[in-house]
């Protein structure tokens, strides 16, 4: 089954992208960016927005030249069979590696925050199984799950922000740009590693009923993600100030202290539940991308039989490639940002430039 044979609406694409990209970044990213930019870390999502929008534009232009085809299908037409297959394999590795990082982050948070006696391997395995069950039924099911999950998650985020308002101090965001733009740009590069995950469109766009509307919906989804990350960073910094970078998951700490008078407090179990759901959803979306990409690289007609074996491999790699969550956090802060730029920006840009030079593909602007 090819992605073009399954259909989701532009709205469903947006509902799929918002939690499929932003869910793991909400809790931990403010602490990582604050390590570099301190009180200016709230600017990091805004700095990352242009590069992430460029990723959407690249995917949209490629989809216009090669309608109903994924990156793996049109890359050999542009670059030649072997280089194109190699690029497809590199994109598969990116999705696979990212899926393992998501799985490990899910397990680390679950064990550290809620179930300290649970073996990390068990947490990884259960998340992988849940994601595989959802992926096995195709992108339509993932899109419908996104429609159900996203509105509730947005409401919960706004509720936490409202409840934490009494604990905030805007003076902790000053002085603005105390150390210049360089720390902000560094933290923006870290954020781009998350928001640049819109490279998912290289696999998802062929499944969208109206491609041009799907691209517009992707920009809207990116705007929501950036706005949410900016808001979360502002609240975390205005609550914890200079010690924000000492927390692995600052916004989770915000949820713990948030309260509404004597009526409502300690809603962090609800946050844990939603974050677990969002992480499993993100795990499923990237597992789908990895499986489809792998199947197309090797010319397999149906990707579905690969879902559970691929999920098992992702879980095994997630459990074994890092020693602990401190090492994982260091990887995300220092290794991951430059590493992901090659897959998110360079690969699609090279294919688009070569396609334009060679005149490969037909630009299609009509609505599908």
Span 297-314, pLDDT tens digits = 998 988 999 999 999 999
Q: How far is CA 125 from the centre of its chain?
A: 20
Instruction: Tell me which of 51 and 271 has the higher pLDDT.
Output: 51
- Cα separation values, 216 from 28, 82, 194, Å: 28, 33, 19
Q: What is the pLDDT of residue 289?
A: 95
Angle between helices 250-257 and 211-240 (to 10 degrees): 70
Predicted confidence at residue 27, as pLDDT, reads 81
pLDDT band at 2 (very low <50, low <70, confident <90, very high): low
> Are β-strands 264-265 and 259-260 bridged in parallel, bridged antiparallel, or unpaired?
antiparallel
Q: How far apart are CA 116 and CA 136, in angstroms?
A: 31
Q: Which helix (H) or strand (E) holds 47?
A: helix 44-65
Residue listed under structure tokens 């600017």: 43
Q: Which of 283, 194, 196, 198 is nearest to 233 (CA)?
A: 194
What CATH number matches the domain at 13-356, 1.20.1740.10, 1.10.287.1080, 1.20.140.10, 1.20.5.510?
Answer: 1.20.1740.10
Per-residue model confidence as pLDDT tens digits over 129-155: 999 999 988 888 899 999 999 999 899
Cis omega before residue 175 (within 30°)? yes
pLDDT at 367 over 50: no
The pLDDT value given to residue 351 = 94
Taking the C-alpha atoms of residue 257 and residue 255, their distance in angstroms, rounded to an integer, is 6
Cα separation, 116 vs 108, in Å, equals 9
Average pLDDT over residues 329-340: 86
Q: How far is CA 145 from the centre of its chain?
A: 16
Instruction: Round to whole Å and give the CA distance between 342 and 336.
Output: 11
What DSSP element (H or E) covers 34? helix 10-37
Domain coordinates in residue numbering, the chain: 13-356
Q: What percent of the chain has pLDDT over 70?
A: 96
End-to-end C-alpha distance for the chain, whole angstroms: 20
Q: What are phi and psi of 329, to 5 degrees?
A: -65, -40
Beta strands in the chain (DSSP E): 259-260, 264-265
Considering Cα of 196, then 32, then 20, then 238, what sign does the dihedral take? negative
Q: What is the mean pLDDT of residues 166-175?
A: 89
Residue 8 has φ and ψ, to the nearest 5°, of: -130, 155
Tokens standing for residue 274: 């939603």
Report the b/e string of 24-34 with b at 16+ CB within 10 A: bbbbbbbbbbb
Structure tokens at 174: 């000053």
Binned at pLDDT 50, 70 and 90, residue 28 comes out as confident
CB environment 241-271: b (16+ within 10 A), e (fewer): eeebbebbbbbbbbbbebeeeeeeeebbeeb
Backbone angles phi, psi at 248, to 5 degrees: -75, -35
């Amino acid at each position: 089954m090819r992605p073009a044979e399954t259909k989701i609406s532009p709205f469903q694409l947006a509902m799929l992208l918002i939690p499929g990209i932003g869910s793991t970044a909400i809790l931990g990213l403010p602490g990582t960016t604050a390590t570099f930019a301190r009180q200016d870390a709230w600017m990091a999502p805004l700095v990352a927005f242009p590069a992430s929008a460029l990723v959407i534009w690249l995917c949209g232009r490629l989809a216009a030249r090669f309608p109903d085809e994924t990156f793996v299908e049109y890359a050999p037409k542009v670059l030649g069979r072997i280089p194109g297959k190699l690029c497809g394999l590199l994109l598969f590795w990116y999705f696979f590696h990212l899926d393992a990082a998501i799985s490990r982050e899910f397990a680390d948070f679950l064990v550290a925050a809620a179930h300290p006696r649970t073996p990390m391997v068990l947490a990884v395995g259960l998340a992988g199984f849940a994601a595989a069950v959802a992926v096995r039924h195709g992108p339509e099911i993932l899109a419908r799950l996104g429609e159900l999950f996203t509105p509730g998650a947005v409401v919960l985020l706004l509720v936490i922000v409202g409840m934490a308002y009494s604990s905030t101090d805007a003076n902790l965001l000053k002085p603005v740009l105390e150390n210049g733009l360089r720390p902000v740009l560094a933290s923006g590069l870290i954020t781009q590693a998350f928001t640049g995950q819109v490279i998912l469109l290289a696999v998802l766009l062929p499944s969208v009923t109206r491609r041009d509307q799907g691209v517009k919906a992707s920009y809207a989804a990116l705007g929501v993600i950036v706005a949410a990350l900016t808001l979360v960073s502002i609240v975390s910094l205005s609550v914890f100030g200079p010690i924000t970078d000492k927390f692995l998951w600052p916004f989770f700490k915000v949820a713990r202290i948030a309260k509404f008078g004597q009526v409502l407090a300690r809603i962090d179990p609800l946050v844990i539940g939603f974050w677990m759901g969002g992480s499993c959803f993100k795990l499923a979306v990237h597992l789908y991308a990895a499986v489809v990409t792998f199947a197309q690289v090797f010319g397999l007609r149906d990707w579905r039989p690969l879902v559970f074996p691929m999920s098992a491999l992702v879980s095994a790699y997630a459990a074994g490639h890092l020693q602990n969550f401190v090492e994982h956090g260091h990887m995300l802060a220092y290794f991951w940002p430059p590493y992901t730029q090659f897959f998110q920006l360079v690969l699609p840009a090279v294919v688009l430039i070569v396609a334009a030079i060679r005149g490969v593909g037909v630009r299609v602007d009509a609505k599908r």
